[in-house]
Structure 1
Amino acid sequence: MATKTSTARMEGAQSTARAALLLRTLATFGSMGAPLMDISRLTGLPKATVHRLLAAMVDERLVERPTGTRNYRLGPDVFAFGIAVRSCFDLQPLAGASLARLAEGTGTAAYLGVRSGYDMLCLDKHVAVADEAGLLLEVNDRWPLGIGSFSLAVLAFLPEPEIQDVIGFNRRRVRPEDTLTFEHIAGSIVKTRRNGYARRTMRSYKGNAGVAVPILDERNYPIGSLCAVAEASRMKGGYLQELVGRLRHEAALIAKLYEGARLQQQQEEKWRVAVRGSGSRHLLG
């Protein structure tokens, strides 16, 4: 029989998990946010539960309601929290040299992607192709995990429970008439794992193809991806194998820099230095 303490612990864990789900869901809608009905449909949570949790997070500035709308979106404190740990987790400054080497050395457009909940976020790119107008993916674009090679390279290497959670969420989110991706996603994941890279051809967009590999942390968890985009006709044979080799090499370098950044001694807060240096009674009046 469950004790009051264990019951309270389980209820607390459930509330935390639901709050995290709501934050990840809101991230998929970007700055426009979403109405209560859409959030409830995507999360599978009752509207009353969603409303209660969102109201609490509004009070804590984790969520806000844009003026003149009935929508909810991520709040200002979520942005500020991210800034506090940017030096530990931001791949963008670590990957700049790798993107340049990939693009210039292979004549492709090289992209850096990171996972953001149920999405992949394009964090940076370096372009060496002549027809830049033919490129679809831009910096700060968010695509559902599973759509596009740069996101499939991450989805395929997640733990199985996370894969199923992502697929279930994005199936509800993506209309069948928009993409057939999730009808064939199981086979795509198997193929990506077997090959060690993801490949997608976008025939409807100037015949480009993307090839991507995961960036793995020390636990072999996919934290991001490197992707190269060029004409689909080039993505085969020796060229493809050489490109995959370059992608893997640069992904390993970025992963090494990432682990170093996470372990780096963080600078002491300046306010502590100021208080000790000037005397707290002078600063406080």
Structure 2
Amino acid sequence: MTTADRPHVVSRAAALLRAVGALGVDGGTTTELAGLVCLARPTVHRLLTSLAEEGLLDRDRRSGRWLVGPELYLLGVSASGRYDITSKARDIVRHLAAETGESAFLSARRGDETVCLLREDGSFPLRSHVLYEGVRFPLGVASAGLAILAHLPVAELDAYLHRMDLSGLWGEDHGEVLLRERVAETRVAGFATNPGLVVEGSWGMAAAVFDADGSPSWALSLTGVETRFRPDRRPVLGSALLTQAHELSRRLT
């Protein structure tokens, strides 16, 4: 391997680790993961095998599916003291679920994506299953990512939209023009609304949570079926999200 090749190998390995993590406890097959990271299957298999040899991944002997490995767990424990806010947010997420009856979530920004960290289901029996712990979405896709994107500085927002083409994978509703319209609406309202753009009939709303430097680093969100997000109810849900997002931001500063 040449020196020039090393950054590509690292980025590909990192993409595979993120893809395995996003698939949750069931993991994925070599073919599934190759499709997710857009690499040839033989290349993906070599990388997966190397990551497993280091303990970063594990492979189920019966199913052949790749899973998060024990070394990632240990690394995560080491990093939790610096990055994990779930202990400060868990009661807030539970409160949102109890107050609204909807499923409530905490998501964190990681680069150009959001990652779901916590989920708490409410009392309403019909639920959306778009969000679950570990799932990742690009900023601007799903309500949490839209809430964070809308509160970025203008220069950072523009740079993101210029380098990302979300419409190819997520549809025309995620093209730059329509996404900028939703960003503007979010800035006016203070909270973001996703009117079933990821999965038809599954709505979401979110409010950004800010770190000590005033950056939108997390988001609280609610998801549910469309009938639970009527026009007359959305201001109530938005107010609940903003109240709890403000409280969590206060705890983190």
Q: Which amino acid aligns with 2:116?
A: L
Judge which range, 109-118 or 157-166, deviates more.
157-166
- Paired with 1:37 and 1:44, the residues of 2 have a C-alpha distance of 10
- Paired with 2:57 and 2:165, the residues of 1 have a C-alpha distance of 22
Unaligned runs of 5+ in 1: 1-6, 172-180, 260-285
Say whether the 8 Å CA contact 2:128–2:223 is kept in structure 1: no
What is the SS of the residue equivalent to 2:133? coil
Sort the Cα spacing of 1:256 and 1:40 in 2 relative to 1 into closer, same or farther, 3 A: same
Q: CA deviation at 1:78?
A: 1.0
Residue 184 (1) aligns with residue 173 (2) = yes
Residue 214 (1) aligns with residue 219 (2) = no
What is the SS of the residue equivalent to 1:184? helix
Q: TM-score, normalised by structure 1?
A: 0.64
Sort the Cα spacing of 1:91 and 1:136 in 2 relative to 1 into closer, same or farther, 3 A: same
Say whether the 8 Å CA contact 1:209–1:235 is kept in structure 2: no
**Aligned pairs, number:** 236
- Paired with 2:98 and 2:26, the residues of 1 have a C-alpha distance of 36
Q: TM-score, normalised by structure 2?
A: 0.71
Deviation by residue 1:2-25 (Cα, 9 ceiling, x = unmatched) = xxxxx72x4332222111111011
From the CA coordinates, give the structure whose radius of gyration is larger: 1
Q: List aligned pairs for 1:1-285, cutoff 5 A.
A: 8=3, 10-99=4-93, 101-103=95-97, 107-109=100-102, 111-115=104-108, 120-121=115-116, 123-125=118-120, 127=122, 132-137=124-129, 140=133, 142=135, 144-145=137-138, 148-154=142-148, 167=166, 171=169, 181-186=170-175, 187=177, 189-194=179-184, 195-196=186-187, 197-201=191-195, 209-218=203-212, 222-229=216-223, 232=227, 235-236=230-231, 240-241=234-235, 243-258=237-252
Sort the Cα spacing of 1:165 and 1:201 in 2 relative to 1 into closer, same or farther, 3 A: closer
Say whether the 8 Å CA contact 2:94–2:104 is kept in structure 1: no
Unaligned runs of 5+ in 2: none
Q: CA deviation at 1:111?
A: 1.3
Deviation by residue 1:221-263 (Cα, 9 ceiling, x = unmatched) = 54332123577466436x544543442342233234345xxxx
- Paired with 1:188 and 1:122, the residues of 2 have a C-alpha distance of 28
Q: CA deviation at 1:208?
A: 7.0
Say whether the 8 Å CA contact 2:207–2:245 is kept in structure 1: yes
Q: Which amino acid aligns with 1:184?
A: D
Sort the Cα spacing of 1:62 and 1:122 in 2 relative to 1 into closer, same or farther, 3 A: closer
Identical aligned residues as a percent = 20
Say whether the 8 Å CA contact 1:92–1:112 is kept in structure 2: no
- Paired with 1:70 and 1:96, the residues of 2 have a C-alpha distance of 34
What is the SS of the residue equivalent to 1:26? helix
Q: CA deviation at 1:123?
A: 0.6
Deviation by residue 1:127-149 (Cα, 9 ceiling, x = unmatched) = 3x5xx212224763736556643
Sort the Cα spacing of 1:19 and 1:221 in 2 relative to 1 into closer, same or farther, 3 A: farther
